[in-house]
Structure 1
Amino acid sequence: MFQIMLIEDDPSLFQEIRERLQQWSYGVYGVKDFGNVLQEFTAVRPDLVLIDIQLPKFDGFHWCRQIRAHSNVPIIFLSSRDHPTDMVMSMQLGADDFVQKPFHFEVLIAKIQATLRRVYNYNTERVELRTWRGATIEYGRNTIAAERGTIELTKNEMLILKLLVEQKNRIVSREELIRSLWDNEHFVSDNTLTVNVNRLRKKLEDLELDAYIETKVGQGYMATEEVQVL
């Protein structure tokens, strides 16, 4: 049974979400102290976190930062606010998805299932190594290492890099990337992919590899590799 940590301060909404999730055989843990969310997260070690943005004491962005400093657990934001900057901010902080309130529970369940399937099926694959531009990519550990050091990527960032590197020197369409990341592109903003790619590039700057993820306007993205001439 997957354990979901639900960080929601509206008692009636919390109860409704919990009952729906339990119908799908998910375990649900509700935060008891909104001033010590990280402490409870560390104790519970959930498989996925659902978190509202507007919370007592500290907002969801604060707790997302705190969790991301310690864990790559998948995080899905819930929010009644309709500012596009909220979605951008959540993705920049390392969230895996964003659900706008009010929402259909079928959509929420679909996003949870897609995220869990992507993260935990992906983690159970055997460790694979790939080289790209002199760097070593270890898919099973979500790391990429080069002479300048080693960086750790989130699940989404690694999946984007994997898709691009496996088809290096070829344009991978935005639609293909979105389908691979979120299963159902109908519920995903095109801007969400842009934010994730930008986050990946930002991390690759430390290895001086960011320039080799090229944007092909109106088409998609491409990981370039020098072609060896024999």
Structure 2
Amino acid sequence: MEKIMIVEDDLKIAQHLVSFIEKYGFVGVVAEDFDEIMETFRNNQPDLILLDINLPSYDGYYWCRQIRKESICPVIFISARTGEMDQVMALENGGDDFITKPFHPDIVMAKIRSQLRRAYGEYSARFDERMLAQDGLRLYPERLELRFGDLVTTLTKKESDIIESLLERYPRVAGRQDLLAKLWDDQAYVDENTLNVNITRVRKKFQELGIEDAVETVRGAGYRLRVTWKEGEA
């Protein structure tokens, strides 16, 4: 059974989430010491984390960054904060999705199942390792790695999915709706601004490899990979 770790300082909400999660056959683990989140994480090795933003000592953004140093397991933020910048910050700090309070339990379960499918289930890579290449750029989706020459950068699952779509469609345009469909099952609950945030993160990953202007915005259509570099430039 998949294990869901809940990092929530409101005990009633945490217990409510555990009760609902276990009703659907998952194992719920509630973090109790908010100074030792990483210890709880390491001891339990959860398959997914539900993470509040407002926490004692350090906020959820901080803990998400610490988790990302060790794991790519899905992280869904749950918060009473409703501003666009809060959602942007959640994604920028390594989150995979965002749910606002008050929430409907069915939406929480839909997003949990969606993220688990993406990470481990029917939509995850379960077979021989793949490698997509174009002019010296190499993407390893199973490793969540992007390489160019001797340089390598690690990716989140969503960053890898976007780059994979750009490589598969090259030199054609990857449409916004196609990207949304690839990245999120439950599109009705996704603000398109979250795609913009992830595209920005992808551009930064290319910049880490010394590649500027790698992703072109095609107004009204989507995004296209610009292969203007040559192998060995890195």
TM-score normalised by the chain length of structure 1: 0.94
* Corresponding residue number in structure 2 for 1:55: 55
Query: Residues 158, 210 of structure 1: CA spacing in aligned structure 2 closer, same or farther, 3 A cutoff?
Result: farther
Q: Is 1:94 aligned with 2:99? A: no
Match 1:186 to one of 175, 185, 188: 188
Map residues 55-94 of structure 1 onto 2, 5 A cutoff: 55-94=55-94
Superimposed CA distance per residue, residues 175-226 of structure 1 (whole angstroms, 9 cap, x where no aligned partner): 1111111112110011101111111110110213342211112211112347
After superposition, residues 29-178 of structure 1 pair within 5 angstroms as: 29-121=29-121, 122-178=124-180
**Conserved 8 A contact 2:77-2:95:** yes
Q: Give the distance between the partners of 2:15 and 2:212, measured in 1 at CA.
A: 44
Deviation (angstroms), 1:62: 1.2
Q: What is the distance in 2 between the residues matched to 1:130 and 1:79?
A: 37
Contact persistence 2:213–2:226 (CA under 8 A): no
- In 1, distance between residues paired with 2:141 and 2:85? 31
State how many pairs are aligned: 226
- What letter is aligned with 2:58? F
Q: Are 1:199 and 2:201 matched, yes or no?
A: yes
**Aligned-partner residue type, residue 72 of structure 1:** I
Conserved in 2, the CA contact under 8 Å of 1:148 and 1:206?
Answer: no
| 2:231 equivalent in structure 1 | none
Indicate conservation of the 8 Å contact 1:80/1:100, yes or no. Answer: yes
Q: Which residue of 2 aligns with 1:215?
A: 217
Name whichever structure is richer in helix by fraction: 1
Which stretches of structure 1, 4 residues or more, deviate above 3 A after TM superposition?
none
2: CA distance between counterparts of 1:188 and 1:62? 23
- 1:221 aligned counterpart, secondary structure: strand
Q: Distance in 2 between matches of 1:209 and 1:85?
A: 27
CA-based RMSD of the aligned residues comes to: 1.3
* Structure 2 letter corresponding to 1:98: F
State the partner residue of 2:232: none
Equivalent position amino acid for 2:110 in 1: A
Counterpart amino acid of 1:32? E
How big is each residue's C-alpha offset from its partner over 1:36-92, in whole Å with a ceiling of 9 and x where there is no partner?
101111111111110001111211111111111221111000000112111000100
Q: Distance in 1 between matches of 2:134 and 2:74?
A: 26
Amino acid at match of 1:42: R
Amino acid in structure 2 at the alignment position of 1:7: V
More deviation in 216-225 or 173-182? 216-225
Report SS of the residue matched to 2:159.
Answer: helix
Residue 211 of structure 1 aligns to a residue whose secondary structure is coil
- Residue identity opposite 1:2 in structure 2: E
Distance 1:153 1:210 in 2: 17
Q: TM-score, normalised by structure 2?
A: 0.92
